[in-house]
Amino acid sequence: MIDIKHIRENQSSIEESLKNKDKSISLDSVVKADLDLRELTKRLNDLQSDQNKQSKEIGVLKSQGKSDDSVFAALKDLSKKIKELEAEHREKSAILNNMLLEIPNIPHASVPAGESEKENVITKDCPSKKQIHFKPKSHVDIAQDLDLIDFEAGAKMSGAGFPLYKGSGALLERALINFMIDFHLKNYNYTEFFTPFLVRPNSAITTGQLPKFHEDMYHIEKDELYLIPTAEVSLTNIHQDEILELSDLPKYYLAYSACFRREAGSYGKDTRGLLRVHQFNKVELVKFVHPDSSYNELESLTEQATKILDLLELDYRIIELCTGDLSFSAAKCYDLEVWAPGEEKWLEVSSCSNFEDFQSRRGNIRFRAEDGQVDYLHTLNGSGLATPRIFAALLETHQNKDGSINIPVALQPYMGVAEIK
């Protein structure tokens, strides 16, 4: 959420920045709603001041043993007006707040300008891809040939986009999760959590999924709960409505979770195999940091995620997203993409984002500075990593001509074997 005072004082420059994300952005209605609310607040304060004066007058009359029906009647009328204005104030305050929740985050000045993913910038390219001296098979064919995933059984029980891992496939999925958790815990001082997979609406509001992306989430209406699209939601809300001490920062949190996404706007896109599914597994990294260090923390977060790809011996590249491709909540973001030789395409496996104070304002997550002042901290998150496309790229990259799969050395202790055949 953007501070309304910042919008009030810098409407033109903020609109200009936001139009790099969304050309239709206009803040006129927000500024007007803010002005109306402030005028109403002044009227309400004036009436409350009059109410206090009249109450004191009545107190004086009572102390003198006097009574004035007209003064009592005037106070009664005034109290009625105040109650009506208070109700109007609550309504207008809620309207303004809802308008602010619909405004995307402002891109950082360093983010390259652009309208679509075509204008993203490759900051680290893959110099040479692993050579495969035969026609590589897709992960779908490999998974079926080696009996690793039963797509049909998954679809039978839950519909398309719900793969059923089995045998060595289930073992490989679990190995990836445990390897990534252990790597981050051992090397980067994260605290591990195992969070709820269901959250209240206010938690999804904090991280920016609600209200704008309601259609992309699985919603349990009877209990007013949402299935998380990522553990970022539950991890970030650990400190909702809290004030952390400066000495508490930075905080690095990690969690594995199943993730659930309706993918409502992507019908017919990348539906084959594991490329776009409704339920998947992910190891999520979340940071709570001082505002002065958040961009250094973004670089280190991105580097941490790439170490996993190095150890899995996958070809990858790092993409800096342009303004038009940034997510709703991000001020700056790097995507990590791995090469899938069977699919012959790059697959996104992680997004590492700095949200600055966008989420902390929505969730009221603050810290107490050295001078005692309370301010909003910065939050970051990154996938460390999501498994479906890693699983796909791993099968396609490490396949052999005889149909077997070599297991990267880093995964072998978790698999207990050097190959799947």
Span 186-227, pLDDT tens digits? 999 999 999 999 999 999 999 999 999 999 999 999 999 999
The pLDDT score that the predictor gives to residue 264 is: 64
Nearest one of 138, 131, 369, 362 to 241, comparing CA atoms: 362
Beta bridge partners of 129: none
Our answer to whether residue 276 is catalytic in this structure is yes
> Do the first three CATH levels of 28-101 and 117-420 match, i.e. the same topology?
no
Our answer to whether residue 348 is catalytic in this structure is yes
Measure CA 290 to chain center: 18
Query: Whose structure tokens read 């075509």?
Result: 118
Query: Which candidate in 257, 284, 389, 396 is catalytic?
Result: 389
Query: Which candidate in 17, 351, 353, 360 is catalytic?
Result: 351
Span 348-369, pLDDT tens digits? 999 999 999 999 999 999 999 9
Q: What is the mean pLDDT of the chain?
A: 94
Span 44-62, pLDDT tens digits? 999 988 888 877 777 777 7
Our answer to whether residue 389 is catalytic in this structure is yes
The pLDDT score that the predictor gives to residue 68 is: 65
Cα distances (Å, whole numbers) of residue 2 to 102, 329, 340, 365: 10, 10, 39, 14
Our answer to whether residue 90 is catalytic in this structure is no
The whole-angstrom separation of Cα 309 and Cα 326 is 23
The DSSP 8-state label assigned to residue 116 in this structure reads: S
Span 120-179, pLDDT tens digits? 999 999 878 888 999 999 999 999 999 999 999 999 999 999 999 999 999 999 999 999
Six-digit token string for 292: 């002065």
Cβ pair 339, 316 in contact under 8 A: yes
The pLDDT score that the predictor gives to residue 367 is: 98
Query: Which candidate in 327, 348, 361, 419 is catalytic?
Result: 348
Q: Which residue has the higher pLDDT, 257 or 56?
A: 257
Query: Which candidate in 138, 261, 337, 353 is catalytic?
Result: 261
Name the residue ranges covered by the structural domains of the chain.
28-101, 117-420
Q: Which residue has the higher pLDDT, 264 or 331?
A: 331
Measure CA 234 to chain center: 10
Tell whether the model's pLDDT for residue 254 goes beyond 90.
yes
Cβ pair 314, 296 in contact under 8 A: no
> Stretch 229-255: mean pLDDT, rounded?
98
The pLDDT score that the predictor gives to residue 129 is: 83
Cβ pair 339, 314 in contact under 8 A: yes
Candidate CATH numbers 3.40.50.720, 3.65.10.10, 3.30.930.10, 3.30.390.30; the one for domain 117-420? 3.30.930.10
pTM value? 0.92
With a CB cutoff of 8 Å and minimum separation 6, the contacts of 198 are 220, 223, 225, 226, 227, 228
Beta bridge partners of 281: 258
CATH top class, domain 28-101: mainly alpha
